[in-house]
Amino acid sequence: MIIELFINALSLLLTLGILVTIHEFGHFWVARRCGVKVLRFSIGFGKAVKTWVGKDGVEYVIAPIPLGGYVKMLGQEDVAVADSSKVTASERHMSFAFKPLWQRMAIVAAGPLANFLLAIIIFWLINVSYGLTGIAPIASNVIEDSPAYQAGLREGDEIVAVDGEATVTWRQVTLQMLSRLGETGELDLTIIPAAASSTPDGAQEILIPISRWLGGQTEPSPVTDLGIVQFEIPAIIAGVIAGGRAESGGLQAGDEILEVNGSPIRGWMHWVEVIRSSPELELNVVAKRQGIDTTLQLRPETGQLEDGAVIGTIGAFVQETSLIELLPPEMRREIHFNVFSAVVPALQETWDKSVFVLNSVKKMVTGLISVKNINGPITIAQIAGETAVYGLDVYLGFLALLSISLGVLNLLPIPILDGGHLFYYMIEAIIRRPVPERIQAWGLQIGLILISGIMVLALYNDVSRLL
């Protein structure tokens, strides 16, 4: 537990530290290119841990709370009063307030744009180093009377597009379906049937009705909700715990579970579901052992989860290995890129995820999806810690998504955020004078209330998930 907390905390500091530094460096770099004098470059909030003055005359500050940062520029606070006496005549050419409007807009927009650039570089690096690896979106099974089954999807069918967007892996199918959360209408799947083709190229469309789809869920699983079973790890016993019900029932390492009480077992997760739902019940189990079917009798003992739920358990475990390693060749999808071909997919993924984040914000505001999906530092720390353990490519993907989220949210037209300043500058471009200080002060108060409310809500959601 202590090690897990340490990993989560360290991952949070590293993740937010990278994102904040890149964001503020965007402002800093463009400000310097525009000839603005930078007074301070601060990463984090709170009492400074480390402070030094560089050869460029900038005061660099590192503070302990990595939830933000800032770049202080000469004349920045006087942008609404271009004749401010706080800036001497000899320094006006280095003052933010006296720079042309387009330069001020470029400096403000540079922070979010730096976050998008970071995401593009990360996705490019992942594409070059790892390529696209995943599981083919072929339905291992479709639950009878489920929405997907009623629409015509069957076992063995491959989903090649969702709402017209091509899908090569289950991950792409899930992400495309997640973009429809909270909506009402029809989900359009393009499939290649396993049995017979209804068109010359073998593809056909099926429409699945949805109504405010999964809008109230905090951990939606769209594929499962539709009744589609993805490829599952075979229910092969890697080992049994001494003294457990699995051992007393005769299960051995290497046994593959085929049936329980006459019903076929689809895979390991299905096997776990059966065991968990059968505490102290007699189960007739058929297992394949060295090519021979063997019948066993098991009675799962009663166990309890942290939330108090009663489940069945037998003391057996699965082999800890990559799912990709267990896939047959026809279920694998692998696409490799070179340094040039990796650019376009990186740009496309950054764009797609930016649109997804923006649509999610819109749906939260309009009530189509739950605001419980807003995450705070505790949840970010947990996810960052988990992804860091899973591997560098997984962590980098999470870092890129957070960077995109930070860029999109900062461009929202909320006073106090970069988007709010850009909104004022666009008004200035139209009316040919700065927005009055009084209106900017009101906007600042409104912005502070909104951002404070969002932070409180995010922390509340974090604590609620822990309880």
CATH of the domain at 162: 2.30.42.10
Per-residue model confidence (pLDDT) at position 1: 59
Which tokens hold the place of 1? 């537990």
What confidence tens digit (pLDDT) does each residue in 387-401 have?
A: 877 778 889 999 999
Q: Is residue 123 part of a domain?
A: yes
pLDDT class of 232 with cuts at 50, 70, 90 = confident
Residues 56-111 have pLDDT tens digits of: 899 999 998 877 899 999 987 655 444 444 677 788 889 998 999 999 999 999 99
Residue 328, pLDDT above cutoff 80: no
User: Does residue 323 surpass a pLDDT of 70?
Assistant: no
Same domain (yes/no): 112, 145: no
Query: What's the pLDDT score for residue 84?
Result: 47
Summarised one tens digit per residue, pLDDT across range 311-322 is 899 998 876 555
Sign, CA torsion 344/345/350/352: positive
User: Is the domain of 386 the same as that of 461?
Assistant: yes
Q: Is pLDDT of 326 > 90? A: no
> What integer pLDDT is reported at residue 47 of this predicted model?
87
pLDDT of residue 219: 76
What are 321's two structure tokens? 């290995």
Tens-place pLDDT, residues 346-381: 999 999 999 999 999 999 988 889 888 888 888 888
Q: Judge whether 47 lies within some domain.
A: yes
Q: Regarding beta strands 310-313 and 301-304, do their DSSP bridges make them parallel or antiparallel, or are they unpaired?
A: antiparallel
Answer whether residue 341 shows pLDDT above 50: yes
* Residue at which a domain ends, from 319, 337, 362: 319
- pLDDT tier at 211 (50, 70, 90 boundaries)? very high
Residue 85 tokens, joined: 């006496």
- Report the pLDDT value the prediction gives residue 82, as an integer from 0 to 100: 46
Mean pLDDT computed over 180-199: 84
Q: Is the pLDDT of residue 189 over 70?
A: yes
Contact 372, 363 (CB under 8 A): no
Same domain for 267 and 206 = no
Q: Are residues 222 and 244 in the same domain?
A: no
Mean pLDDT of the chain: 88
Whole-angstrom Cα distance, residue 288 to residue 215?
42
- Same domain for 221 and 247? no
315 & 405 share domain: no
Residues 223 and 252 in one domain: no
Residue 425 pLDDT grade (very low, low, confident, very high; cuts 50, 70, 90):
very high
Beta strands (DSSP E) in 269-367 are 283-289, 292-298, 301-304, 310-313, 316-317, 332-335
Q: Report the number of distinct structural domains present in the chain.
A: 3
- Residue 308: pLDDT band by 50, 70, 90 thresholds? low
Q: How far apart are CA 325 and CA 301, in angstroms?
A: 32
> What per-residue confidence (pLDDT) applies to 83?
46
Sheet holding 158-162, edge to edge: 165-166, 158-162, 185-192, 204-210
Last residue of a domain, one of 280, 302, 319: 319
Answer yes or no: do 260 and 299 share one domain.
yes
Which residues are part of the catalytic machinery?
A: 24
pLDDT average, residue stretch 48-56: 91
Tell me what the mean pLDDT of segment 34-44 comes to.
93
Asked if the structure places residue 336 within a domain, the reply is no
The per-residue pLDDT for 459 is 85
Q: pLDDT at position 100, please?
A: 94
In the predicted model, is pLDDT for residue 119 greater than 60?
yes
265 and 191 in a common domain: no
Residue 187 to residues 177, 206, 297, 349, 427, Cα–Cα distance (Å): 8, 8, 44, 21, 40
Q: Is 360 part of a structural domain of the chain?
A: no
The string of pLDDT tens digits covering residues 244-293 is: 999 999 999 889 999 999 999 888 878 888 999 999 999 999 999 999 99
For CA atoms 56, 61, 66, 69, the dihedral sign is: negative
**Is 46 among the domain residues?**
yes
Q: Does residue 34 carry a pLDDT above 70? A: yes
Structural domain includes residue 309: yes
Which of these, 348, 444, 359, 449, lies nearest to 400 by C-alpha position? Answer: 348
Does residue 402 sit within a domain?
A: yes
- The residue ranges of DSSP E strands in 265-357, in sequence order, are 283-289, 292-298, 301-304, 310-313, 316-317, 332-335
Per the DSSP assignment, residues forming a β-bridge with 55 are none
Q: pLDDT value at position 322? A: 54
Indicate whether 424 belongs to any domain.
Answer: yes
Residue 154 has φ and ψ, to the nearest 5°, of: -135, 165
Domain end among 229, 261, 290? 229
Residue 393, pLDDT score = 87
Q: Are residues 6 and 106 in the same domain?
A: yes
Instruction: Give the Cα separation of 298 and 280 in Å (integer).
Output: 9
What 3-state DSSP class applies to 274? helix
The reported pLDDT for the residue numbered 329 is 77
Could you tell me if 116 and 168 lie in one domain? Answer: no
Strand partners, 362: none
Residues 23 and 107 in one domain: yes
Per-residue pLDDT tens digits for 121-151: 999 999 999 998 888 999 988 988 999 999 9
| pLDDT exceeds 70 at position 198 | no
Q: Output the pLDDT for position 80.
A: 47
Can you give the residue range of the structural domain that contains 13?
A: 2-129+375-466
Q: In this model, does residue 306 exceed pLDDT 60?
A: no
Higher pLDDT, 14 or 467: 14
Stretch 196-201: mean pLDDT: 54
